[in-house]
Amino acid sequence: MRKVRVNRASVALWARLSGVLLTGLMTLAVLPAQRLYWLGTLTETGGVSYAYGVSNDGLTVVGHANGSAVVWNRAANTIIVVLQGSDSRLWAVSADGSVAVGNTYPDPVGGPERAFMWTRQNGFQWLPPAPGTFCWTADITPSGRYAVGKSRAGDNLPTLWDLSQNPPVRRAYAPQGMWLGDAYGISDDGRIIAGFGHGSGWGFRGIVIGLRDDFSVAWSRILAPASGHSSCVARGLSADGAVVVGTSVASWFSVYYPAMWRAANNWNPELLAHLGGSAGVAYDIRGDVIVGFCRNASGQNRAVRWRLATATTQVEDLNQTYASLLTDGSRLEVAWRLSANGRYIVGWGYHAPKNRTEAFLLDTEASSTRGDVNGDGCVDDADLLEVLFAVGGGSGIEDLNGDGVVDDADLLEVLFNFGSGC
């Protein structure tokens, strides 16, 4: 057993906080196991932000804020601007938060999208054929080794980048007579990609492409839309590449529904349950959890979650599940991506106190050790000091109850769990 060392500084801190202990008992008793963090924008008021990817520890979130590609570094409670302006975005990040990919549109050098990567070690880097030629990215493997998207290669085609090479190596694919296409998802091993394409005799359809070890095409499967629909798009892919999620389209831009295609079901289309409106997309899948958005019967977009086994019959409105975290009138509109371990959900919604569209991070699990700010498994002086020095700040890791401010309630959570796990 590790001993808890309570030194003179600790005693002084306890004395300083004794005045709030009694009044905080009721507050602490109702602290939620799940936590919702509104990530902010580059300005205190105004602006918009969107979150598109998150690391396994929830401390690195990537996306878009005020027209710029950004990284929310929650450990330091800072926002890193990777590429300023030009409507640039970071679309995905590795499981450890060290590598992310994105694109800009319009590009600072003129023209359409240009793809880039960001690493915590080296910062910004263009991906070939950028900056001179059109390309964009959409997803990255948890290892950070491979990314997928689209690039100019004769036509604009589904593309895979090997980010472990310097410079990164690009490969484009055109199976089954494809004229043009996109890649939106990639399996964890980088050997299966999924997206959308157009080809002779098969129109606009989702597609799954299996790759050999040398990255040549081993097989491909064109995905059919649901009965009565005209088209479909594959937006996400399970870790093993056996389940594709996306949307089946009855009418472009107006009537489209969340759908999945499973290898175990011979890649046949399966419509997912929805909220009664005319639009919905399943964007991501990790394990047995699928996330996306659905429009309800009132025409409002809602962030949703499905479980793979019941996805065709049951859908969960996250605004209802996590209503206790939304008592200020805020709402979750789109759940874009899950962390690779499935714990965190990122997306965007309406943040009522700021009256703006804002990125969110939803922690769907309780901490294994409550009050453990630095994650070392022991609630001790170090955790208390981290919270104390962050009092008055925003939604960093010190904001233990996820209410958007570091205050007495967060200090109380450390104090009442002091010594746990030590």
What end-to-end distance do the CA atoms of the chain give, in Å? 7
CB distance 331 to 379 below 8 Å: no
pLDDT for residue 336 is more than 60? yes
Q: What's the confidence (pLDDT) of residue 21?
A: 42
Q: Span 191-200, mean pLDDT? A: 93
Q: What's the confidence (pLDDT) of residue 14?
A: 46
Q: Span 291-317, mean pLDDT? A: 98
User: Hey, what are 317's tokens?
Assistant: 């409105």
pLDDT tens digits along 3-41: 444 455 444 444 444 444 434 433 333 344 689 999 999
Name, in order, each residue with C-beta under 8 angstroms of 139's C-beta and a sequence gap of 6 or more: 91, 92, 101, 147, 148, 149, 183, 184, 185, 186, 236, 237
Q: What's the confidence (pLDDT) of residue 32?
A: 42
387 versus 29: the higher-pLDDT residue is 387
Q: What's the confidence (pLDDT) of residue 272?
A: 99
Q: What's the confidence (pLDDT) of residue 24?
A: 41
CB distance 390 to 397 below 8 Å: no
pLDDT for residue 379 is more than 80? yes
Q: What's the confidence (pLDDT) of residue 156?
A: 87
Average pLDDT, the chain: 89
Above pLDDT 70, what percent of the chain?
Answer: 87
Q: What's the confidence (pLDDT) of residue 166?
A: 93
pLDDT tens digits along 255-283: 999 999 999 999 999 999 999 999 999 99
Does 167 sit behind a cis peptide bond, omega within 30 degrees of 0 on the bond before it?
yes
- Listed residue (122, 112, 205) closest to 158, CA to CA: 205
Q: What's the confidence (pLDDT) of residue 404?
A: 64
pLDDT tens digits along 50-59: 999 999 999 9
Banded pLDDT at 385 (limits 50, 70, 90): confident
pLDDT for residue 112 is more than 60? yes
Q: Span 176-197, mean pLDDT? A: 95
Q: Is 123 exposed, middle or buried (0-12, 13-18, 19+ CB in 10 A)?
A: exposed
pLDDT for residue 231 is more than 60? yes
Q: Span 316-324, mean pLDDT? A: 97
pLDDT for residue 348 is more than 70? yes
Q: Which domains does the chain have, with CATH numbers?
A: 35-367 (2.120.10.30), 370-421 (1.10.1330.10)
Q: Span 73-102, mean pLDDT? A: 96
pLDDT for residue 402 is more than 60? yes
Task: Please give the angle made by the CA atoms of 87, 91 and 92, to the nearest 5 degrees.
Answer: 155
Mean pLDDT is lowest, of 62-71, 145-154, 237-246, 317-326, for: 145-154
Q: What's the confidence (pLDDT) of residue 395?
A: 56
pLDDT for residue 164 is more than 70? yes
